[in-house]
Amino acid sequence: MDYDSISDLPLLVERLAIDGCTPGWVRRRKPLLWARPQSTFEPAHWSYARLRPALLAACRLIGTDEAERRNLILRNPAPGVDFATTNTLVGAYQAILPGEQARSHRHAPHALRVILEAEDAWSVVNGVRHPMNTGDIVLTPGQHWHGHGHDGTQPALWFDCLDVPLVHLLEPMRFEDHPAGMEPVLRTIDESPMRWRAADIAQRLAQAREADTRPDAHFGLTVDLSSPALPTIAIRVHAWDTGWGHAPYRHAANELLVVLGGRGTSRIGEHRFDWGYGDVLALPMGTRVHHQVHEAARVVSLSDDPVMRLCGYYFLEGA
């Protein structure tokens, strides 16, 4: 059929479909544009106290020789989600037993871990071994070899965060096991650009408290630990005093919160979550957020804020 001979609009639409085109004026089930961010992901909360026994059960039932990583992926409850925690980030609880090693690999996704319980655990990143102890934040940037081991006497447990869903969307995924199994250690150091020590974080927060008499109305007392080595994930640590309640907000970022101390309640969208040590909260893009602190808290925020800012999408507004 020749387009020049078509005099009927429905017939034109039908012919365009054959040629792989969709007219912009045709009504869709979901529009291409809408007024405000509308994440398909839901606010969610995972209790460390509830899942810690499950993680220890996994330690009894499967070894690091069978599992690439012994972890529990925090899957968002939104319909159709099979692994992601937010639209761009995935989180997981992970454990390693004394004497075990989690063999080395490397991949395109950027990753980090927030250490919840560990003494004498370690990571080797591109041949450099450094400790992983309670309260530390350890980085493993994309395409860096990394593996883990444990010389202590009690299980080591931590929270992993990776930008795997973003990599799936953009499609540059790569993965490779280290040919030696566990990457050889070239040197061992205590201070590393791949590690924020708990003591260093506490010092940064203390310095911020001394210098800042008016904490941010939305985020409170905050230090930014973001690294150029992780260009897709912002790392910020908040110190919230007992009784603090911030100004509610919405912003254009997908965010995970990891609780390193204290207790509180968060209202995220229509949901209310009571949280404590080790818990994880998912704050989808554009969702209204309001925190109330019952006991002085330290909270790690992990978000795709750098991606949103780079693209010019980021905004923050009161809610």
* Residue 185 and residue 205 in one domain: no
Provide the whole-model pTM.
Answer: 0.94
Contact 246/218 with Cβ under 8 angstroms? Answer: yes
- Which DSSP category does 4 fall into? G
Residues 127, 260: one domain? no
Q: What is the pLDDT of residue 85?
A: 98
84 or 67, greater pLDDT: 84
Looking up residue 105, the CATH number of its domain turns out to be 2.60.120.10
- pLDDT tens digits, one per residue of 111-146: 999 999 999 999 999 999 999 999 999 999 999 999
In a domain, 63, yes or no: yes
pLDDT tens for residues 237-294?
Answer: 999 999 998 899 999 999 999 999 999 999 999 999 999 999 999 999 999 999 999 9
For residue 3, tell me if it sits in a domain: no
Count the domains in the chain: 2
Confidence class for position 158, pLDDT limits 50, 70, 90: very high
Q: In this predicted structure, what is the pLDDT of residue 214?
A: 76
The per-residue pLDDT for range 188-242, each reduced to its tens digit, is 999 999 999 999 999 999 999 998 767 899 999 999 999 999 999 999 999 999 9
pLDDT the model gives residue 311:
97
Does one domain contain both 246 and 166?
A: no
* 106 close to 146: Cβ distance less than 8 angstroms: yes
**215: nearest Cα among 248, 244, 258, 253:** 244
**pLDDT tens string 294-303:** 999 999 999 9
179 and 97 fall within a common domain: yes
Model confidence over 1-46: pLDDT tens digits?
Answer: 689 999 999 999 999 999 999 999 888 778 888 999 989 999 999 9
Query: 86: domain range?
Result: 44-195
Cβ neighbors of 252 (< 8 A, separation 6 or more) are 37, 285, 286, 308, 313, 314, 315, 316
Residues in the chain: 319
Mean pLDDT within 157-165 = 98
